[in-house]
Chain A
Amino acid sequence: MPDAPADLPEAASRRFESRAFTSGLTVPDFAACLQSGLRPVGFVQGFCVMQWSWYGMGSPYNRGLSPYGGGGGYSETYQCPHGYVSAEHRSWGRNYEQSWVEQAWSQGFGLAYGRMLEEATAVGAHGVIGVIDTSDRLSDLGVVEFHVRGTAVTVDGVPAPRGGQPWTTYLAGQRLTKLVEAGYAPVSVAAAVASVRVWAYCITEYLLGGGGSAWGGQQSSAEVTQVAAARTAARQLAREHVRAQLGGDSLHGAEMVVSEREVGEGDQEIQCLLRGNRVRRFKEFDPVAVPHPTVRLS
């Protein structure tokens, strides 16, 4: 492949010289892909191994910092209503956006995604369908590997692409066909992470520890407002990050994954991953044929 980018591993360019196409599609998706005039040319992928600054000195990853210092972005401080109780008593708590985690994620994802696009460009693809992205922790602490892969395709009857990036989508098979039939064209995948850190103050700490009655009086069920606010913020931030990538297009088939990690007593880190397909209308909505009702006899 003479015009393969220089920084692809040698094995990748060797692989693309082969006659046979490869496709990561299942057989039903493969059939649907041929049906809608797409031809798989190669399974393409990109990787990036990142070191995350979990415990970096420069990051406010440290309870000793002032509750009022802000790192930019979302931040909320909780003040204890009890006055001085003891030195261990958590008289203040804080929720804040960890923008450095978000940046590390988007850098890692972006590099892996970019490498997949390079492979796709090298095989002369118009687009990449059935994209899958994963990020896995490697054994060393704070080292995360991003892996983005998909099946590069060409569109029948369309001249080979000259410059420009291939389009990408998480969809494949009938789901993609239905979207295109409805008048939307895939533009790219869109994904972003929001990360919010919760430093619990006394009330949150006791509520999470199941000791609500000890400090709050009689009630046994109560909202843990600090955590609720952090989760709401994480979801909202993820949505804002993805919206910033859309440039006026629509997001289709969005999927949101919220996970949390306990860091200490009552302290946690909330991560919200939002991914979806950026799509653009290219023709009038054309409803699909009236469906035929069926009943299963088994």
Chain B
Amino acid sequence: MTDAPQDPSAAPEDLPKDLPEATSRRLAELEHGLFTSDLSVNEFLLIKEVGFHPLGLVMGSSIYHTGIQTRKWGQSQELTKLTEAMYNARELAMTRMEEEADQLGADGVVGVRLDVNYYEWGKDAAEFIAVGTAVKAESGVSHRNALGKPFTSDLSGQDFWTLMQTGYIPQGLVMGTCVYHIAHRGLGQTLGSAGQNVELPNFTQALYEAREMAMTRMQDEADRLEASGIVGVRLEEKSHQWGSHTIEFLSLGTAVTKTSDEVTLPVPTTIISLDN
């Protein structure tokens, strides 16, 4: 990109090469002031209230072939190939969404949804899709993250407003994933512990390790964004199409940093609703 002032009609040429042509037409229209968003009216008003304006609905998608990896029947292990696939595919979808947002000159993307779809036509292939609403500060002050990219977050308009009141701003949707194969139990082991209440330390450790790895990776992402914390951490478990012994542990959250300005939280008012 050049530093020269941009003529809006020239914008499509600057688009990253890997966005489809339809995107450039759509984004060019958005640059003329029309905006699209999937925000509800209340969310829209709250985002305006904290000084942001929606620019447009942005998305990124990646159809990814997840390979297969041999597993040992009786051994718990991370399936690094699958972990990598799940990671890369989401990363691609997110990056493309960020590129769209970048093209609109956005400061960030709110309400990001990260989904995985499977289609009948593509066995072993999955579509990873990220959709959100790009927003820009009306004051002109940049709110981009430490990497100079628009921030991303899965916060709703209400959550975004509340977070801004606490003096934190979102830096990015961070995630970590770990695909893990849980060992089958041998007949001897099963018989050996029949009739007893016992902890199965191998299983405990395997599941513990897998989740901790997912969370560590999420925190590494937050560290890269120089975030001071992650809010709304969720741990999800999915078996996708791999059978019950192979599980993806996904941890997701919004990395936030504290702004320098001193914040005093408004004291909430107690109310009683007279509606039914």
Contacts and interface: CB of A to CB of B under 8 A. Distances in A.
Nearest to B163: A27
A23 B229 contact: yes
Given A23-B229, A24-B233, A138-B182, A31 B163 contact: yes
Interface string B218-233: 1110110001111111
B127 interface: no
B223 A138 contact: no
B159 interface: yes
Interface residues of B, number: 60
Interface string B168-206: 000000000000001011000010011111111101110
A217 interface: no
A51 B194 CA distance: 8
Q: 10 shortest A-B CB distances, which residue pairs?
A: A56-B195, A11-B212, A49-B203, A27-B159, A104-B197, A21-B229, A291-B272, A291-B270, A139-B244, A18-B219
Contact of B223 (A18, A43, A149, A296): A18
A282 interface: no
B166 A296 contact: no
Contacts, number: 174
B274 A293 contact: yes
Interface of B is mostly: mixed
Contact of A34 (B166, B182, B235): B166
Interface string A136-149: 00111001010001
B271 A292 contact: yes
A264 interface: no
Contacts of B200: 49-51, 143
A145 B273 CA distance: 41
Interface residues of A, number: 59
Contacts of A66: none
A20 interface: yes
Interface of A: 9-12, 14-15, 18-28, 30-32, 34-35, 40, 43, 45, 47-53, 55-59, 100, 103-104, 107-108, 111, 138-140, 143, 145, 149, 174, 288-296
Contacts of A57: 194-195
Contacts of B190: 140
B159 A28 contact: yes
B232 A25 contact: yes
B219 A20 contact: yes
Contacts of B209: 9-11
Contacts of B195: 53, 55-59
Nearest to B265: A35
Given A9-B205, A35-B265, A289 B270 contact: yes
22 contacts: A11-B212, A14-B212, A15-B216, A15-B219, A18-B220, A20-B222, A20-B223, A20-B228, A22-B230, A22-B253, A23-B230, A27-B232, A45-B211, A53-B196, A56-B196, A103-B197, A140-B190, A145-B207, A174-B268, A292-B272, A293-B274, A296-B273
Nearest to B200: A49
Contact of A15 (B162, B215, B244): B215
A146 to B, nearest CB: 9
B203 A143 contact: yes
A209 B232 CA distance: 48
Contacts of A28: 158-159, 162
Contacts of B272: 291-294
Contacts of A18: 216, 219-220, 222-223
